[in-house]
């Protein structure tokens, strides 16, 4: 494939945009080469400015369950745009979408919309702290919850659980209340409670982690988190910005029995438009302004175009829940094909599927936490990614991201990708 136009576009972008991209992973730093600049999407395909066509397994990092330019969602967006782009005032669309989401998630009585997943998590943490009157929070190494200051942390030295800033510009005073535990390790969580002086407001976790590769939490581990939170009066927050409506119609709650106190959502509930949300039972949400003292606001929150896109997408999912079985079957088929291709080439590979989400590691051991994920052969992944891209398969440009299936993908497309995978595995 030729990438001449994308190379030129990247050089031009680099002159006016830091790194040439508006989100770091898009720069292809971990896989090498130049990111294709996209001209348009259609169904399961992306088309770049060089005229190359790709089968798209990124799907805008998750929200496009129905692929690019779904006619129902597109019609809803056009209708909303013709009524006005934004009002900064209430619309019934907000109530309709909130009601649909609340009806599907146990323990959520009320929901507030924001404009991104980062904003949803940031607001949820503030509410948890305001509700409990405590400052400390627990997060897990490898789980990504957006780029707000208190969550940009890295592990301290030795047995210290308190995090250190992982980015310049984040004062240590803003991360000193963030304690780090190991995913799927309940003893590390207990250590956090031992180390906390003033008490822990909340534990936040991706119940299906998607930002260290696809690594689901063990059901027993989630149950133990619930027990610890109940014992200490701590809130349990499920970050389902990625897995909400992707893993199942009810996110992780359609797969595991553990119920959180709060949920953060994003991506998928906007049908491709920028959106986020956080919700909890009424008692907790009543502490949020204007009902309560915990302040949160957003001029474009509940944007009518995003609400219309989200409602159209969600209604299709509610009307046809069998979609999830079909998507999971295709994801399983794809990952089985990847495994077979790797075995034939003598390459170690492990795979995971949750609903329409899939992930793989070039590793000979199962991955249960971030430390395991780091043992992935990232150099081999980079070679694999380049080979697949050059063959018209668009995968996430990081070994620590998740892939997504859309309804626009046919069995024939899956078979085509498996055939390409067999060749690329042999080549690398």
Q: How far is CA 311 from CA 325, 340, 427, in A?
A: 21, 39, 45
Indicate if 8 belongs to the active site. Answer: no
What six digits make up the tokens of 180? 């780090």
Residue 106: pLDDT band with limits 50, 70, 90: confident
Q: Evaluate if residue 60 carries a pLDDT over 80.
A: yes
Q: What is the pLDDT of residue 170?
A: 80
- pLDDT at residue 169 in the model: 82
Note the pLDDT of residue 371. 93
| Cα separation values, 187 from 160, 181, 194, 221, 302, Å | 14, 9, 11, 10, 40
Query: In the prediction, which pLDDT does 197 show?
Result: 84
- Res 162: pLDDT: 62
Angle between helices 71-83 and 304-319 (to 10 degrees): 150
Task: Exactly one of 45, 144, 394, 400 is catalytic; name it.
Answer: 144
Which percentage of the chain shows pLDDT scores above 70? 98
> Is residue 161 very low, low, confident or very high in pLDDT (cuts 50, 70, 90)?
low
d(CA 335, CA 311): 31
Residue 156 has pLDDT above 80, yes or no: no
pTM: 0.95
pLDDT at residue 163, as a whole number: 62
336-357 confidence digits (pLDDT tens): 999 999 999 999 999 999 999 9
- Structure confidence at residue 252 as a pLDDT band (50, 70, 90): very high
pLDDT band at 397 (very low <50, low <70, confident <90, very high): very high
Q: What is the pLDDT of residue 155?
A: 57
* Mean pLDDT for the chain overall: 94
Lowest-confidence segment of 29-38, 71-80, 145-154, 289-298 by average pLDDT? 145-154
Q: Does residue 58 have a pLDDT over 90? A: yes
Tell me, what's the pLDDT at 160? 45
pLDDT digits (tens, 9 = 90+) for 163-195: 677 788 887 877 888 999 999 999 999 999 999
pLDDT tens digit string along 369-384? 999 999 999 999 999 9
387 pLDDT above the threshold of 50: yes
Q: Rounded CA gap, 377 and 214, in Å?
A: 15
Domains (ranges, CATH) in the chain? 4-69+322-427 (3.90.1150.10), 72-319 (3.40.640.10)
Catalytic residue among 139, 191, 267, 330: 267
Instruction: Calculate mean pLDDT across residues 44-61.
Output: 98
What's the distance, Cα to Cα, between the start and end of the chain in Å? 18
Is 267 designated active site?
yes
On whether the CB atoms of residues 161 and 192 are closer than 8 A, the answer is yes
Question: With 50 as the cut, is the pLDDT of residue 157 above it?
Answer: no
d(CA 224, CA 234): 13
Task: Choose the catalytic residue: 239, 261, 324, 372.
Answer: 239
Query: Can you give the pLDDT at residue 158?
Result: 43
For the chain, what is the HEC assignment? CCCHHHHHHHHHHHHHCHHHCCCHHHHCCCCCCCCCCEEEEEECEEEECCCCEEEECCHHHCCCCCCECCHHHHHHHHHHHHHCCCCCCCCHHHHHHHHHHHHHCCCCCEEEEECCHHHHHHHHHHHHHHHHCCCEEEEECCCCCCCCHHHCEECCCCCCCECEECCCCCCHHHHCCEEEECCCCHHHHHHHHHHCCCCEEEEEECCEECCCCCEECCHHHHHHHHHHHHHHCCEEEEECCCCECCCECCHHHHCCCCCCCEEEEEHHHHECECCEEEEECHHHHCCECCCCCECCCCCCCCCHHHHHHHHHHHHHHHHCCCHHHHHHHHHHHHHHHHHHHHHHHCCCCEEEEECCEEEEECCCCCCCCHHHHCCCCHHHHHHHHHHHHHCCEECCCCCCCCEECCCCCCHHHHHHHHHHHHHHHHHC
pLDDT 10s digits, 190-204 = 999 999 988 999 999
User: Quick one: CA dihedral 263, 314, 213, 32, positive or negative?
Assistant: negative
Mean pLDDT (whole number) for 395-408:
96
Asked whether residue 154 carries a pLDDT value surpassing 70, the answer given is: yes
Residue 149 known to be catalytic: no
- The predicted pLDDT at position 171 comes to 78
Give the count of alpha carbons within 13 A of 316, CB side only: 22
Is residue 148 over pLDDT 90? Answer: no
On the question of pLDDT at 412 being above 80, the answer is yes
The CA-based angle 311-301-171, given to 5 degrees, is 130
Q: Report the distance separating Cα 388 and Cα 267, nearest Å.
A: 26
388: confidence class by pLDDT, cuts 50, 70, 90: very high
């Amino acid at each position: 494939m030729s990438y001449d136009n994308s190379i030129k576009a990247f050089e031009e972008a680099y002159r006016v945009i830091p790194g040439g991209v508006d989100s770091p992973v898009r720069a292809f730093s971990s896989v090498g080469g130049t990111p294709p600049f996209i001209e348009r999407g259609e169904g399961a395909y992306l088309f770049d400015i060089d005229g190359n066509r790709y089968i798209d397994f990124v799907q805008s990092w998750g929200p496009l369950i129905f692929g690019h330019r779904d006619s129902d969602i597109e019609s809803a967006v056009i209708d909303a745009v013709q009524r006005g782009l934004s009002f900064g005032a209430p619309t019934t669309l907000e109530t309709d979408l909130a009601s649909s989401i609340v009806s599907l998630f146990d323990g959520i009585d009320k929901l507030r919309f924001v404009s991104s997943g980062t904003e949803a998590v940031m607001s949820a943490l503030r509410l948890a702290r305001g509700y409990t009157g405590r400052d400390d929070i627990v997060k897990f190494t490898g789980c990504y919850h957006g780029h707000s200051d208190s969550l940009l942390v890295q592990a301290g030295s030795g047995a210290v659980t308190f995090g250190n800033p992982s980015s310049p510009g984040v004062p240590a005073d803003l991360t000193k209340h963030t304690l780090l535990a190991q995913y799927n390790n309940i003893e590390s969580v207990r250590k956090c409670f031992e180390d906390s002086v003033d008490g822990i407001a909340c534990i936040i976790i991706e119940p299906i982690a998607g930002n260290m590769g696809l690594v689901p939490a063990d059901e027993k581990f989630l149950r133990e988190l619930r027990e610890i939170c109940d014992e200490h009066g701590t809130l349990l927050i499920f970050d389902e910005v990625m897995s909400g409506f992707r893993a199942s119609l009810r996110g992780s709650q359609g797969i595991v029995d553990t119920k959180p106190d709060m949920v953060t959502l994003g991506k998928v509930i906007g049908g491709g438009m920028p959106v986020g949300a956080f919700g909890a039972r009424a008692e907790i949400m009543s502490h949020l302004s204007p009902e309560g003292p915990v302040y949160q606001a957003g001029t474009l929150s509940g944007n009518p175009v995003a609400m219309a896109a989200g409602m159209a997408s969600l209604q299709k999912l509610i009307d046809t829940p069998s979609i999830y079985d079909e998507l999971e079957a295709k994801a399983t088929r794809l990952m089985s094909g990847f495994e077979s291709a790797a075995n034939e080439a003598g390459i170690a590979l492990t795979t995971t599927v949750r609903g329409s989400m899939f992930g793989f590691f070039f590793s000979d051991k199962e991955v249960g936490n971030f430390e395991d994920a780091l043992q992935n052969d990232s150099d081999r992944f980079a070679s694999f990614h380049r080979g697949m891209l050059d063959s018209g398969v668009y995968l996430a440009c990081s070994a620590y991201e998740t892939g997504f299936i859309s309804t626009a993908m046919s069995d024939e497309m899956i078979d085509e990708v498996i055939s390409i995978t067999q060749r690329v595995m042999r080549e690398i």
